[in-house]
Amino acid sequence: MHVVPLPALADNYIWLLYDDSGHAIVVDPGEAHPVEDALRARKLKLCAILLTHHHSDHIGGAAALRAAHGAPIYAPEDERIPAATHRVRDGEMLALAEPAVRFQVLAVPGHTLSHIVYAGAGVLLCGDTLFSLGCGRLFEGTPAQMLASLQRIAALPGNLLVCCGHEYTAANGRFAQTVEPDNTALKQRLDDVATLRGKQQPSVPATLSSELACNPFLRVNSDDVIAWCRRHGAANDDAVARFAALRSAKDGFQA
Ligand code: ZN
Ligand code: FE
């Protein structure tokens, strides 16, 4: 499977997946024209549209793409996604015929309450739940919900490629370094990110294993994160309090 991030809007990525016979899936098309351009340039047939959550920067192009290509739109149960043709829910295995792929669907409340992720075909399609070196803001869910969602993601196979919804890695990394200044895996990742961004290339996808080594929001039980949280008022024995302290510090961080 080919996996390509298509830049869209200000800093979104629409993910394009396709097989060698030219059958394509797009994920979170916030607008249609980058998808149309990519389909035309690569001579692909759009076979399915997958949505992770209801925000307009992730679904804005879905209806137009369906109108042009007739592709089904898979989405979580949420009336704020009226264009959906198929609803998918937690625990479901979404099996597509063309391209022939299977995705495990996980409910991951936090950024929004109905947010889902899709895991399969070597990728994790995670919308605004997990970012490289960061995580989504809590617009609807609680810290406890988001931490539980991230912990479910963390238990997935480490070789999955984390295909997230935004190019936020460099700014996330500046915050991550304030939390774990001695994390050598993080330092290496930031060097790689600087090189990629210097060449105008996407910093993603990275593997889930890399995120587990570098992303403070997946590392609330690491010694350095625990120590940082203690200095920022979170009790030692409460992972949710540590996660909440990290998330609110990041919300106020000027990168
Ligand atoms: Zn969002
Ligand atoms: Fe978004």
Phi-psi region of 161 (alpha: psi -120 to 50; beta: other; left: phi over 0): beta
Question: For residue 253, how far is its CA from the centre of ligand 2 (angstroms)?
Answer: 19
- DSSP secondary structure letter of residue 218: G
* Ligand closest in space to the Cα of 11: 2
Residue-wise pLDDT for 11-62, tens only, equals 999 999 999 999 999 999 999 999 999 999 999 999 999 999 999 999 999 9
Distance 182 CA to ligand 1 centre (A): 31
Ligand nearest to the CA of 141: 1
Catalytic residue among 58, 90, 191, 223: 58
Rounded to an integer, what is the distance from CA 115 to the centroid of its chain? Answer: 11
Report the separation in Å between the CA atom of 61 and the middle of ligand 2, taken as the mean of its atom positions.
13
Q: What is the largest CA-CA distance in the chain?
A: 55
CB-based contacts of 156-160 (< 8 A; 24+ apart in sequence): 156/119, 156/124, 156/208, 157/208, 158/207, 158/208, 158/209, 158/212, 159/122, 159/207, 159/208, 159/209, 160/119, 160/122, 160/123, 160/124, 160/207, 160/208
Omega before 99 within 30 of 0, i.e. cis: yes
pLDDT digits (tens, 9 = 90+) for 199-240: 999 999 999 999 999 999 999 999 999 999 999 987 778 999
Active site residue 33: no
pLDDT over 70, % of the chain: 99
Alpha-carbon dihedral angle through residues 147, 149, 208, 178, given to the nearest 10 degrees: -20
Output the pLDDT for position 237.
80
As a three-state string, the secondary structure of 152-173 is HHHCCCCCCEEEECECCHHHHH
Query: From the candidates 53, 54, 69, 115, which is the catalytic residue?
Result: 53
Ligand 1 centroid from CA 167, angstroms: 13
Question: All domains of the chain, ordered by start, with CATH?
Answer: 2-251 (3.60.15.10)
52 C-alpha vs ligand 2 centroid, how far in Å?
A: 10
